[in-house]
Amino acid sequence: MNQIKTLFLAEYQKRKASYWWPLWIVAGLTVLSLLALLVAWIIDSPNIIMYGSDGSREGLRIGMYGVMFSFGMVFAIFMALSAQTSLNREKQLGSDLFFRCQPVCVWKVTAVKYVMHIFGSSLLLLGFGIIFALILSIVSIFFAEGFYFGQALYGTFLGWITYLKVALVFGSLSFFFSSVFKNNALILGMAGLGILEGLFAIIEAIFRHTINMPNIFESLVSMIGTMGLDEIDEINMSIVMGDYRFLFGILFAGICYAGATMIYKYRAKDA
């Protein structure tokens, strides 16, 4: 247990900035938005639009889901950039041999890297979302004449789960790329998938579209399952988690992790 704790702390210390940067960016944008709302309220602007302005509880749930979805896009960018160096960072720094000589199971090392680099910042996202939900609930007292923190918290949680689904699929893919490429893993990996997608299109054209080749990027997005954007007015847990295709996303993530670990382990022996 102490070994696992040490690995988590080591990963956090090495990449502390990558976890906090998206939070600072989102916090800055939030402060600017709240200041703009305050100014508009002071001058009694008719353009103030507040979810739940009709006094409904559902408005804050929908609003916080949208807010978390927007926040999640910022966090997802930093997550993918962090995950693409998960298994090649030490090699870039020339210290990979030192880390591989440590008396730690390779699967433990990669598991800690996987969890930290893909899901570590999600805790900050959730924490900030809860704080923002509280602020929005207080603001709603003046605009919606009600304190609906429970519904705002529910929307926050739904948005957080949606982010976790995106992180699971695309973060796992980026993690796998980090085991294959030494530098610019995400760019090279996505370029490789793009080339493969082009080859599939050529094959379909050769056979005059009598055969259907898989659409790689469409398949990746489909494994996330529904994100509820088409049904945001009724967003709830059954919508966010009710798509069976996410089960393929979980399987895909497991394959990416196992494959990346095997490649990492093979490179260690080869070194």
Say yes or no to pLDDT of 82 above 80.
yes
**Tens-digit pLDDT profile for residues 25-74:** 999 988 887 787 777 767 765 555 544 444 467 788 888 999 999 999 99
Q: Give the predicted TM-score (pTM) of the model.
A: 0.86
Tell me, what's the pLDDT at 196? 93
Q: Which pLDDT value is given to residue 212?
A: 85
Give the chain's mean pLDDT.
85
More confident residue, 208 or 150: 150
pLDDT at 103 over 70: no
Say which residues have a Cβ less than 8 Å from residue 72's Cβ, sequence separation at least 6: 125, 159, 160, 162, 163, 166
Query: Mind listing the pLDDT tens digit for each residue in 240-261?
Result: 998 899 999 999 999 999 999 9
pLDDT at 187 over 90: yes
CA–CA separation, 135 vs 88, rounded Å?
41
Indicate the domain borders of the chain: 15-270
